[in-house]
Homo-oligomer: A and B are copies of this chain.
Amino acid sequence: MKLATLRDGTRDGRLAVVSRDLSRAAFADGIARTLQAALDDWRVHAPALAALADRLESGSAAGAFDFEPTAAMAPLPRAHHWVDGSAYVNHVELVRKARGATMPESFWTDPLVYQGGSDDLLGPTQDAPFPSEDHGIDLEGEVAVVTDDVAIGCDPAAARAHIRLLMLVNDWSLRNLIPGELEKGFGFYQSKPATSFSPVAVTPDELGTAWDGAKLHLPLIAKINDRLLGHPNAGVDMTFDFGQLIAHVTKTRRLGAGAIVGSGTISNYDRSLGSCCLAEVRMLEKLARGTPATPFLKFGDRVRIEMLDAAGRSIFGAIDQRVVKAP
Protein backbone atom coordinates (compact mmCIF):
# COMPACT_ATOMS: atom_id res chain seq x y z
CA MET A 1 0.00 0.00 0.00
CA LYS A 2 0.88 3.66 -0.34
CA LEU A 3 0.48 6.14 2.49
CA ALA A 4 0.46 9.93 2.56
CA THR A 5 0.10 12.54 5.26
CA LEU A 6 -2.22 15.35 4.25
CA ARG A 7 -2.10 18.90 5.54
CA ASP A 8 -4.87 19.61 8.06
CA GLY A 9 -3.37 22.41 10.13
CA THR A 10 -1.81 20.08 12.69
CA ARG A 11 1.91 19.42 13.07
CA ASP A 12 1.62 15.73 12.24
CA GLY A 13 -1.08 15.95 9.55
CA ARG A 14 -3.75 13.37 8.74
CA LEU A 15 -2.97 9.88 7.47
CA ALA A 16 -4.42 8.79 4.13
CA VAL A 17 -4.14 5.69 1.97
CA VAL A 18 -3.32 6.49 -1.67
CA SER A 19 -4.13 4.38 -4.72
CA ARG A 20 -1.35 2.58 -6.58
CA ASP A 21 -1.58 5.05 -9.50
CA LEU A 22 -1.49 8.00 -7.05
CA SER A 23 -4.82 9.33 -8.36
CA ARG A 24 -7.13 8.68 -5.40
CA ALA A 25 -6.93 8.77 -1.61
CA ALA A 26 -8.99 7.99 1.46
CA PHE A 27 -8.38 9.13 5.02
CA ALA A 28 -7.39 6.42 7.48
CA ASP A 29 -9.85 7.77 10.06
CA GLY A 30 -10.83 5.10 12.55
CA ILE A 31 -7.55 3.25 11.93
CA ALA A 32 -4.77 5.70 12.81
CA ARG A 33 -4.82 9.48 12.80
CA THR A 34 -1.16 9.88 11.85
CA LEU A 35 1.54 7.81 10.21
CA GLN A 36 3.52 7.81 13.46
CA ALA A 37 0.46 6.37 15.25
CA ALA A 38 0.19 3.67 12.57
CA LEU A 39 3.87 2.80 12.96
CA ASP A 40 3.63 2.79 16.76
CA ASP A 41 1.35 -0.23 16.50
CA TRP A 42 2.02 -1.45 12.98
CA ARG A 43 0.98 -5.07 13.47
CA VAL A 44 -2.48 -3.90 14.54
CA HIS A 45 -2.94 -1.08 12.04
CA ALA A 46 -1.24 -2.38 8.89
CA PRO A 47 -3.94 -4.99 8.08
CA ALA A 48 -6.71 -2.40 8.43
CA LEU A 49 -4.78 0.06 6.27
CA ALA A 50 -4.19 -2.65 3.66
CA ALA A 51 -7.91 -3.47 3.64
CA LEU A 52 -8.68 0.21 3.06
CA ALA A 53 -6.11 0.27 0.26
CA ASP A 54 -7.88 -2.70 -1.36
CA ARG A 55 -11.24 -0.90 -1.16
CA LEU A 56 -9.63 2.20 -2.67
CA GLU A 57 -8.26 0.16 -5.60
CA SER A 58 -11.64 -1.45 -6.22
CA GLY A 59 -13.47 1.88 -6.03
CA SER A 60 -15.45 0.96 -2.92
CA ALA A 61 -13.71 3.12 -0.30
CA ALA A 62 -16.22 5.50 1.23
CA GLY A 63 -15.21 9.17 1.12
CA ALA A 64 -12.42 8.67 -1.42
CA PHE A 65 -11.15 11.81 -3.13
CA ASP A 66 -8.58 12.88 -5.73
CA PHE A 67 -5.03 12.76 -4.39
CA GLU A 68 -3.19 16.07 -4.76
CA PRO A 69 0.55 15.86 -4.03
CA THR A 70 0.47 19.58 -3.20
CA ALA A 71 -1.69 18.72 -0.17
CA ALA A 72 0.91 16.25 1.09
CA MET A 73 3.28 16.91 3.96
CA ALA A 74 6.28 14.62 4.38
CA PRO A 75 4.89 11.14 5.17
CA LEU A 76 6.35 11.75 8.65
CA PRO A 77 6.24 15.57 8.98
CA ARG A 78 8.34 15.12 12.09
CA ALA A 79 10.03 11.92 13.19
CA HIS A 80 12.02 10.80 16.21
CA HIS A 81 15.11 9.54 14.43
CA TRP A 82 16.60 10.38 11.05
CA VAL A 83 19.93 8.78 10.31
CA ASP A 84 21.45 8.96 6.87
CA GLY A 85 24.07 6.63 5.52
CA SER A 86 26.60 7.20 2.78
CA ALA A 87 26.14 3.77 1.27
CA TYR A 88 27.36 4.49 -2.27
CA VAL A 89 31.02 4.44 -1.36
CA ASN A 90 32.14 5.19 -4.94
CA HIS A 91 30.71 8.68 -4.33
CA VAL A 92 32.82 9.11 -1.18
CA GLU A 93 35.86 7.81 -3.09
CA LEU A 94 35.23 10.41 -5.78
CA VAL A 95 34.90 13.26 -3.24
CA ARG A 96 38.26 12.26 -1.79
CA LYS A 97 39.88 11.89 -5.20
CA ALA A 98 38.73 15.36 -6.22
CA ARG A 99 40.56 16.86 -3.27
CA GLY A 100 43.62 14.65 -3.75
CA ALA A 101 43.01 12.51 -0.65
CA THR A 102 42.94 8.74 -0.52
CA MET A 103 40.03 6.95 1.14
CA PRO A 104 40.63 4.65 4.12
CA GLU A 105 40.09 0.98 3.13
CA SER A 106 37.75 0.63 6.13
CA PHE A 107 35.16 2.79 4.34
CA TRP A 108 34.37 -0.29 2.20
CA THR A 109 33.46 -2.35 5.26
CA ASP A 110 32.35 0.13 7.96
CA PRO A 111 29.38 2.34 6.97
CA LEU A 112 29.40 6.10 7.32
CA VAL A 113 26.23 7.52 8.85
CA TYR A 114 25.23 10.88 10.24
CA GLN A 115 22.35 11.83 12.51
CA GLY A 116 20.01 14.43 11.05
CA GLY A 117 17.41 16.68 12.64
CA SER A 118 13.91 15.22 12.47
CA ASP A 119 11.69 18.01 13.82
CA ASP A 120 11.20 19.70 10.46
CA LEU A 121 10.81 17.32 7.54
CA LEU A 122 9.63 19.10 4.40
CA GLY A 123 6.75 18.00 2.20
CA PRO A 124 7.26 17.19 -1.48
CA THR A 125 6.09 20.47 -3.01
CA GLN A 126 6.79 22.82 -0.12
CA ASP A 127 9.30 25.60 -0.84
CA ALA A 128 12.72 24.72 0.57
CA PRO A 129 14.03 27.74 2.53
CA PHE A 130 17.70 28.61 2.87
CA PRO A 131 19.33 31.67 4.41
CA SER A 132 21.95 32.24 1.70
CA GLU A 133 22.98 31.10 -1.78
CA ASP A 134 26.58 31.51 -0.59
CA HIS A 135 26.21 28.35 1.51
CA GLY A 136 26.38 26.23 -1.67
CA ILE A 137 22.85 24.80 -1.82
CA ASP A 138 22.80 21.26 -3.24
CA LEU A 139 20.36 18.39 -3.59
CA GLU A 140 21.10 14.79 -2.63
CA GLY A 141 18.71 12.26 -4.17
CA GLU A 142 18.27 9.22 -1.96
CA VAL A 143 16.04 6.33 -0.93
CA ALA A 144 15.09 5.93 2.75
CA VAL A 145 13.38 3.22 4.74
CA VAL A 146 11.17 3.55 7.81
CA THR A 147 11.60 0.90 10.49
CA ASP A 148 9.50 -0.44 13.32
CA ASP A 149 11.14 -1.04 16.73
CA VAL A 150 14.60 -2.53 16.36
CA ALA A 151 16.57 -3.86 19.34
CA ILE A 152 20.23 -3.17 20.09
CA GLY A 153 22.52 -5.51 18.17
CA CYS A 154 20.18 -6.45 15.31
CA ASP A 155 22.03 -8.32 12.57
CA PRO A 156 21.75 -7.39 8.87
CA ALA A 157 19.53 -10.36 7.94
CA ALA A 158 17.08 -9.81 10.81
CA ALA A 159 17.10 -6.06 10.13
CA ARG A 160 15.39 -6.57 6.76
CA ALA A 161 12.16 -7.63 8.46
CA HIS A 162 12.05 -4.31 10.31
CA ILE A 163 11.69 -2.30 7.09
CA ARG A 164 8.05 -1.20 6.93
CA LEU A 165 8.06 1.63 4.39
CA LEU A 166 10.21 3.25 1.73
CA MET A 167 10.33 6.88 0.63
CA LEU A 168 12.38 9.17 -1.59
CA VAL A 169 14.51 11.84 0.01
CA ASN A 170 16.16 15.09 -0.93
CA ASP A 171 18.83 15.45 1.72
CA TRP A 172 19.54 19.15 1.10
CA SER A 173 23.16 20.00 1.77
CA LEU A 174 25.02 23.26 2.21
CA ARG A 175 28.29 22.36 0.51
CA ASN A 176 30.25 25.45 1.48
CA LEU A 177 29.50 24.86 5.17
CA ILE A 178 30.48 21.18 5.14
CA PRO A 179 34.29 21.51 5.25
CA GLY A 180 34.16 23.79 8.32
CA GLU A 181 31.63 21.58 10.10
CA LEU A 182 33.51 18.34 9.40
CA GLU A 183 36.80 19.92 10.45
CA LYS A 184 35.29 20.55 13.88
CA GLY A 185 34.70 16.80 14.09
CA PHE A 186 31.19 16.79 15.55
CA GLY A 187 29.28 16.12 12.32
CA PHE A 188 27.36 18.06 9.70
CA TYR A 189 24.98 20.05 11.87
CA GLN A 190 24.75 23.49 10.21
CA SER A 191 25.44 22.04 6.77
CA LYS A 192 22.36 19.79 6.81
CA PRO A 193 19.16 21.85 6.92
CA ALA A 194 15.61 20.41 6.82
CA THR A 195 15.24 17.32 4.60
CA SER A 196 12.48 16.73 2.01
CA PHE A 197 10.43 13.59 1.36
CA SER A 198 8.25 12.14 -1.39
CA PRO A 199 4.43 12.50 -1.39
CA VAL A 200 3.89 8.87 -0.41
CA ALA A 201 5.65 6.17 1.57
CA VAL A 202 5.13 2.67 0.20
CA THR A 203 5.26 -0.78 1.73
CA PRO A 204 7.97 -3.05 0.28
CA ASP A 205 5.41 -5.30 -1.45
CA GLU A 206 4.46 -2.38 -3.75
CA LEU A 207 7.91 -2.61 -5.33
CA GLY A 208 7.65 -6.16 -6.66
CA THR A 209 10.92 -7.67 -7.83
CA ALA A 210 12.62 -4.25 -7.80
CA TRP A 211 12.93 -4.68 -4.02
CA ASP A 212 15.21 -7.53 -3.00
CA GLY A 213 14.61 -7.09 0.73
CA ALA A 214 17.47 -4.67 1.28
CA LYS A 215 18.06 -2.73 -1.97
CA LEU A 216 15.74 -1.00 -4.43
CA HIS A 217 16.79 -1.79 -8.00
CA LEU A 218 15.42 1.16 -9.94
CA PRO A 219 16.84 4.43 -11.23
CA LEU A 220 16.29 7.61 -9.24
CA ILE A 221 15.59 10.50 -11.59
CA ALA A 222 16.92 13.89 -10.51
CA LYS A 223 16.14 17.05 -12.46
CA ILE A 224 16.98 20.72 -11.99
CA ASN A 225 14.63 23.17 -13.74
CA ASP A 226 13.25 20.28 -15.83
CA ARG A 227 16.72 19.31 -17.07
CA LEU A 228 17.93 15.80 -16.26
CA LEU A 229 20.83 15.77 -13.81
CA GLY A 230 21.02 12.00 -13.50
CA HIS A 231 19.24 8.69 -13.22
CA PRO A 232 21.61 6.31 -11.42
CA ASN A 233 20.19 2.99 -10.25
CA ALA A 234 19.66 2.80 -6.50
CA GLY A 235 20.35 -0.94 -6.54
CA VAL A 236 23.74 -0.63 -8.24
CA ASP A 237 27.01 0.16 -6.42
CA MET A 238 25.22 0.34 -3.06
CA THR A 239 28.07 -0.90 -0.88
CA PHE A 240 25.90 -1.27 2.24
CA ASP A 241 22.30 -2.37 1.84
CA PHE A 242 19.53 -1.24 4.19
CA GLY A 243 19.89 -4.39 6.32
CA GLN A 244 23.54 -3.57 6.87
CA LEU A 245 22.80 0.09 7.57
CA ILE A 246 20.17 -0.80 10.20
CA ALA A 247 22.57 -3.30 11.79
CA HIS A 248 25.24 -0.61 11.90
CA VAL A 249 23.02 2.00 13.57
CA THR A 250 21.73 -0.46 16.18
CA LYS A 251 25.19 -1.51 17.34
CA THR A 252 24.84 0.55 20.54
CA ARG A 253 21.23 1.77 20.58
CA ARG A 254 17.75 0.62 19.72
CA LEU A 255 15.59 2.31 17.07
CA GLY A 256 12.05 3.39 17.93
CA ALA A 257 9.17 2.77 15.52
CA GLY A 258 9.19 5.34 12.74
CA ALA A 259 12.97 5.72 12.57
CA ILE A 260 14.09 6.85 9.11
CA VAL A 261 17.29 5.36 7.68
CA GLY A 262 18.63 6.90 4.47
CA SER A 263 20.89 5.51 1.78
CA GLY A 264 22.97 8.61 1.09
CA THR A 265 23.30 10.17 -2.36
CA ILE A 266 22.78 7.53 -5.01
CA SER A 267 25.81 7.22 -7.26
CA ASN A 268 26.88 4.70 -9.90
CA TYR A 269 30.34 4.02 -11.31
CA ASP A 270 28.71 4.31 -14.72
CA ARG A 271 29.05 8.08 -14.98
CA SER A 272 26.95 8.15 -18.17
CA LEU A 273 23.94 7.86 -15.87
CA GLY A 274 24.64 11.28 -14.38
CA SER A 275 24.43 12.29 -10.74
CA CYS A 276 21.93 12.96 -7.97
CA CYS A 277 23.84 15.88 -6.51
CA LEU A 278 25.73 18.85 -7.92
CA ALA A 279 28.78 18.18 -5.76
CA GLU A 280 29.41 15.00 -7.75
CA VAL A 281 28.98 16.82 -11.06
CA ARG A 282 31.46 19.46 -9.89
CA MET A 283 33.99 16.85 -8.74
CA LEU A 284 33.85 15.10 -12.11
CA GLU A 285 34.37 18.48 -13.80
CA LYS A 286 37.30 19.19 -11.51
CA LEU A 287 38.90 15.82 -12.25
CA ALA A 288 38.34 16.27 -16.00
CA ARG A 289 39.17 19.95 -16.43
CA GLY A 290 40.82 21.13 -13.22
CA THR A 291 37.97 23.29 -12.00
CA PRO A 292 34.25 22.80 -11.38
CA ALA A 293 31.96 24.64 -13.80
CA THR A 294 28.41 23.84 -12.68
CA PRO A 295 27.17 26.25 -10.00
CA PHE A 296 25.23 25.23 -6.90
CA LEU A 297 21.51 26.05 -6.73
CA LYS A 298 20.10 29.58 -6.80
CA PHE A 299 16.89 30.92 -5.30
CA GLY A 300 14.09 30.15 -7.73
CA ASP A 301 15.61 26.90 -9.01
CA ARG A 302 13.33 23.86 -8.99
CA VAL A 303 14.51 20.38 -7.99
CA ARG A 304 12.54 17.29 -8.98
CA ILE A 305 13.26 13.78 -7.68
CA GLU A 306 11.20 10.79 -8.77
CA MET A 307 11.36 7.04 -9.35
CA LEU A 308 9.39 5.17 -12.03
CA ASP A 309 8.49 1.51 -12.11
CA ALA A 310 9.32 -0.73 -15.06
CA ALA A 311 6.13 0.46 -16.79
CA GLY A 312 7.09 4.12 -16.35
CA ARG A 313 4.62 4.92 -13.57
CA SER A 314 5.68 7.11 -10.66
CA ILE A 315 6.00 4.99 -7.52
CA PHE A 316 6.38 7.57 -4.77
CA GLY A 317 5.14 10.69 -6.57
CA ALA A 318 7.64 13.46 -7.17
CA ILE A 319 9.55 15.67 -4.79
CA ASP A 320 9.24 18.90 -6.77
CA GLN A 321 10.36 21.96 -4.87
CA ARG A 322 11.54 25.47 -5.35
CA VAL A 323 14.65 26.77 -3.63
CA VAL A 324 13.72 29.99 -1.82
CA LYS A 325 15.28 32.52 0.53
CA ALA A 326 14.34 31.86 4.16
CA PRO A 327 12.14 34.67 5.48
Please report A residues at the B interface, Cβ cutoff 8 Å: 11, 40, 78-81, 83, 86, 107, 110, 112-120, 129-131, 135, 151-153, 174, 177, 182, 184-191, 193-194, 248-249, 251-259, 326-327
Contact = CB atoms under 8 A, between A and B. Distances in A.
Contacts of A256: 11, 78, 119-120
A255 B119 contact: yes
A254 B193 CA distance: 8
Residue among A11, A119, A190, A191 with the highest chain B CB neighbour number at 10 A: A119
Given A131-B252, A152-B326, A119 B258 contact: yes
A102 B40 CA distance: 47
A252 B187 contact: no
Q: Which 6 interchain pairs have the tightest Cβ spacing?
A: A187-B187, A119-B256, A80-B119, A81-B119, A115-B115, A114-B186
B186 A112 contact: yes
A314 B112 CA distance: 42
Given A112-B186, A117-B115, A80 B83 contact: no
Contact of A190 (B11, B78, B86, B251): B251
A151 B193 CA distance: 12
Contacts of A118: 80-81, 118
B116 A131 contact: no
A85 to B, nearest CB: 9
Give this chain's copy count.
Answer: 2
B120 A189 contact: no
Chain A interface main SS type: loop
Contacts of A257: 11
Nearest to A114: B186
Contacts of A112: 184-186
12 contacts: A78-B80, A81-B117, A83-B189, A86-B186, A114-B189, A115-B117, A115-B188, A119-B256, A151-B327, A152-B326, A152-B327, A185-B185
A116 B117 contact: no
A262 to B, nearest CB: 12
A235 B190 CA distance: 26
A62 to B, nearest CB: 29
A182 B259 CA distance: 23
Given A81-B120, A190-B248, 11 more contacts: A11-B257, A79-B119, A80-B80, A112-B185, A115-B115, A115-B188, A131-B153, A135-B252, A152-B327, A193-B252, A193-B253
